[in-house]
């Protein structure tokens, strides 16, 4: 008799071998007065992606930067640009963010009335489509759409500000999301955003994370290149 547990293990065994964990420095934590310098540092580093947070002051209680700054970042960046929209009505700007050089565009589940339509619009512009979940949002809301999502960004802090403490329940959500992905045979990658340090990076990867977004931990370190290298080595 096949139990649910044995079926899950069987599906897990059929998954392709895990890729190397991707490290995505969050540019929100960079020195805005020396932004080109910090972009070039990430270019030289072992990091894989640039993580760009766009905030409107409505969906989250903070305003970050907008299109002109993203255009400037794209001009100097030579790695994948992962744009995370923390804004209401993201559909209005999908085409614009594609034109500005975004490779991955992530919208919040909580900000989208018609999520499937939004994801299709993102893909139609040639970008990978991501969905972010706030800490209080249950993984189950993705049950019927997981196969259409390239990246799920799990917020491990409340969105809006950098430098917050990691929410431990994130480990539970990663495992639940991984189980959903395996059960549905989806190609989706799991990204964790907020409070990532060398103290929890390995545990996050062991739980099932594929991409780690780190901001303050990288940019406030005395040796940013070495900090990125160590994060990469910890999670190999």
- Is residue 4 in some structural domain? no
What's CA 177's distance to the chain center, in Å?
14
- Is residue 65 in some structural domain? yes
28-37 average pLDDT score:
95
pLDDT tens profile 149-186: 999 999 999 876 666 789 999 999 999 999 999 999 99
In terms of DSSP bridges, do strands 49-55 and 80-86 run parallel, antiparallel, or are they unpaired? Answer: parallel
- Is residue 11 in some structural domain? no
- Is residue 5 in some structural domain? no
d(CA 165, CA 157): 7
What is the full DSSP assignment across 152-190?
EEEESS-TT-SSPPPPTTHHHHHHHHHHHHHHHT---EE
d(CA 89, CA 96): 13
Report pLDDT for 61: 87
Least confident of 7-11, 40-44, 81-85: 7-11
- Is residue 8 in some structural domain? no
pLDDT tens profile 95-138: 999 999 999 999 999 999 999 999 999 999 999 999 999 999 99
- Is residue 13 in some structural domain? no
Strand order in the sheet with 189-193: 22-25, 211-214, 189-193, 151-155, 128-133, 104-108, 80-86, 49-55
Report pLDDT for 28: 93
Active site residues: 53, 193
* pLDDT band, residue 77 (cuts 50/70/90): very high
Q: Does the structure show a pLDDT above 60 at 89?
A: yes
How many domains are there within the chain? 1
What residue numbers bound the domain in which 92 lies? 18-234
Tokens describing residue 56: 């409107």
Q: Does the structure show a pLDDT above 90 at 143?
A: yes
- Is residue 57 in some structural domain? yes
| H/E stretch holding 117 | helix 115-124
Least confident of 4-8, 63-67, 117-121, 190-194: 4-8
- Is residue 214 in some structural domain? yes
Tokens 């491990």 — which residue?
156
d(CA 23, CA 5): 31
- Look up the CATH number of the domain holding residue 62: 3.20.20.70
* pLDDT band, residue 192 (cuts 50/70/90): very high
Report pLDDT for 19: 66
């Amino acid at each position: 008799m096949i139990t649910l547990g044995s079926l899950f293990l069987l599906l897990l065994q059929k998954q392709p071998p895990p890729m190397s964990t991707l490290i995505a420095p969050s540019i929100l934590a960079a020195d805005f007065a020396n932004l080109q310098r910090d972009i070039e540092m990430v270019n030289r580093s072992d990091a894989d992606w640039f993580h760009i947070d766009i905030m409107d002051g409505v969906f989250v209680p903070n305003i970050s930067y907008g299109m002109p700054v993203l255009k400037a970042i794209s001009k100097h960046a030579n790695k994948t640009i992962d744009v995370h929209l923390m804004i209401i009505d993201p559909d209005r700007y999908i085409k614009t963010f594609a034109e500005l050089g975004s490779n991955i565009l992530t919208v919040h589940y909580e900000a989208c009335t018609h999520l499937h339509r939004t994801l299709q619009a993102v893909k139609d512009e040639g970008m990978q489509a991501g969905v972010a979940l706030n800490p209080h949002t249950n993984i189950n809301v993705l049950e019927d759409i997981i196969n259409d999502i390239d990246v799920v960004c799990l917020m491990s802090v409340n969105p809006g500000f950098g430098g917050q403490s990691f929410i431990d329940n994130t480990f539970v959500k990663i495992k639940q999301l991984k189980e959903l992905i395996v059960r549905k045979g989806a190609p989706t990658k799991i990204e964790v955003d907020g409070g990532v340090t060398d103290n929890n990076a390995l545990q996050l990867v062991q739980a099932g994370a594929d991409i780690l977004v780190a901001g303050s931990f990288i940019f406030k370190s005395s040796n940013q290149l070495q900090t990125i290298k160590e994060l990469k080595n910890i999670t190999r």
